[in-house]
Amino acid sequence: MFDHGSDGATALFDMDGFVVRAQMLEDGEWWLLVETAAEVVGCPSCGVRATGHGRRAVEVRDLPIMGRPVRVVWRKRVWRCPDGDCGRKTWSETHDEIAPRASLTRRARVEICRRVGQGGDSVAAVAAGFGVGWHTAMGAVVEHGTPLVDDPGRLGAPSALGLDETSFLRAGPGRRRQMITGFVDLDRHVLLDVAPGRSGRVVRDWLDQRHRSWLEQVDVAVVDPFRGYATALADRLPEAMIVVDHFHAIRLANAAIDDTRRRVQQAMLGHRGRKHDPLYRIRRTLLVAHERLDDTQQERVVRLLLTGEPHGEVAAAYLAKELLREVYAARRPSWARSRLRKFYAQCDRSNVPECRRLAKTIRAWEAEVLAFHTTGRSNGPTEGINLLIKKIKRVGHGFRNFTNYRLRLLLHCGVQWQTPRTARVRGRQPRFAA
Ligand SMILES: [Zn+2]
């Protein structure tokens, strides 16, 4: 049964023009019986004062109260025009918050979008909290999220652009792995957009949709060493300096270490690395920056490299990685240049195919590597956003639909949400109306 309503329930419900007549808790959810307080209403056609013609109940979901889903039963008034000559016979009340045939109030839809978008919560969890189905909740995210994402002001005016690839769909039965290209504002650390695919074409198409003045303000672009990206950027942003930052360069060097280690293990043992193999035991430590290892760890690396391989090939790859890190750590461009020569010399001398290949790649990108020192720009913000992207993917248990995926990513990493600030609980004592 409904309890008798109160001013308190009306105050908590807090929807303009509504009075809560009754409330009850049933099956773990709140039912609120609400009505508007309107008594005097004119006919929308002729303006004559309308007369009441009964009520009609509609039901919608609203914001949860104290963690419980809420059903609002609105007993809508039906009005009648008393003027026999008027074309309008009867009509029922309307309210901005409760659209005809809506299953959720407007404010509930906005909140669902905010929790999924800004909060990064899963659609399923938010839907359950509001007592609606997944599709209804996702509908609210699309309805309120799309205008936020489509807002042209969202792209701002970045002076530095970061480009990176992340995977969208893993390879599966009858399906290849699908990559997406992310565009990041390196000034504000905001994800500008994602586009399906990883190619120069993707970058060109995206840049072609931008206004000329937007393109002209970009003077640095940070990329991973992928020729397609660089060519497209040189093509569409001829004034911008292209940088290959340390994240990506060191990732290449780490790949060279891994490749060398696997090859040496296979050659020596005739199988892949196993738990007790010396090289396998240090496979992760080898990828850590040397100065971040403590003395014991450094000694262990050296010892296991000495016992684990006869020709010092993994050690050479490790040294190459450290020398490349020195290049990036250089504080002046001229120092970086001379350290780069040291790195080349070490790789060329080493006779390790993986090191030579690494040196060849870095030589091909030398200008972009050294541009890191002249611009001081790195893809650090992009790496941070990649972590958020992974989080959204995990929360969503993977995505099949690219449009939904893009919306979720941009709502989480590409939209500035306006959140009202609340005061701390302690030390604040409003005067309650008893
Ligand atoms: Zn009328």
Q: 309 φ, ψ to 5°?
A: -150, 145
Gap from CA of 37 to ligand 1 centroid (Å): 21
CA of 50 to the centre of ligand 1 (A): 8
Could you tell me what percent of the chain has a pLDDT over 90?
A: 66
- The alpha carbon of 4 and the centre of ligand 1 are apart by a number of angstroms equal to 35
Q: In this model, does residue 2 exceed pLDDT 70?
A: no
Distances in whole angstroms, Cα of residue 172 to Cα of each of 166, 169, 176, 404: 17, 8, 7, 20
Question: How wide is the angle at C-alpha 152 spanned by C-alphas 233 and 397, nearest 5°?
Answer: 80
pLDDT in tens, 242-299: 999 888 899 999 999 999 999 998 888 887 878 778 888 898 989 988 888 999 999 9
- Rounded to an integer, the average pLDDT of 208-219 is 94
pLDDT of residue 416: 87
User: From ligand 1's centre to the CA of 90, what distance in Å?
Assistant: 9
What's the confidence (pLDDT) of residue 192?
96
Q: Please check whether residue 99 is in contact with residue 106, taking contact to mean a CB–CB distance below 8 angstroms.
A: yes
CB 118 within 8 A of CB 415: yes
Give residue 272's pLDDT.
80
Q: How far apart are the CA of 285 and the centre of ligand 1, in A?
A: 82
Q: Find the 47 Cα to ligand 1 centroid distance in Å.
A: 6
For the chain, give the mean pLDDT: 90
C-alpha of residue 80 to centroid of ligand 1, in Å: 8
420 pLDDT tier (thresholds 50, 70, 90): low
Q: What is the DSSP string of 171-221?
A: -BTTB--EEEEEEEETTTTEEEEEEES-SHHHHHHHHHTS-HHHHHT--EE
DSSP 3-state of 347: helix
Ligand 1 mean position, distance from CA 91 (Å): 10
Strands 3-4 and 18-26: antiparallel
The alpha carbon of 76 and the centre of ligand 1 are apart by a number of angstroms equal to: 19
Residue 105 has φ and ψ, to the nearest 5°, of: -70, 160
pLDDT of 1 above 60: no
How far is 288 from 283, CA to CA, in rounded Å?
10
What's the 60 CA to ligand 1 centre distance in angstroms? Answer: 29
- Which of 100-109, 221-230, 425-434 bottoms out in mean pLDDT, i.e. has the lowest? 425-434
- For ligand 1, the distance from its centroid to the CA atom of residue 87, given in whole angstroms, is 7
If you average pLDDT over residues 190-203, what whole number do you get? 94
Using alpha carbons, select from 151, 31, 18, 7 the residue that is nearest to residue 76. Answer: 18
**What pLDDT was estimated at residue 369?**
94
Mean pLDDT, residues 229-248: 92
Ligand 1 center from residue 39 Cα (angstroms): 17
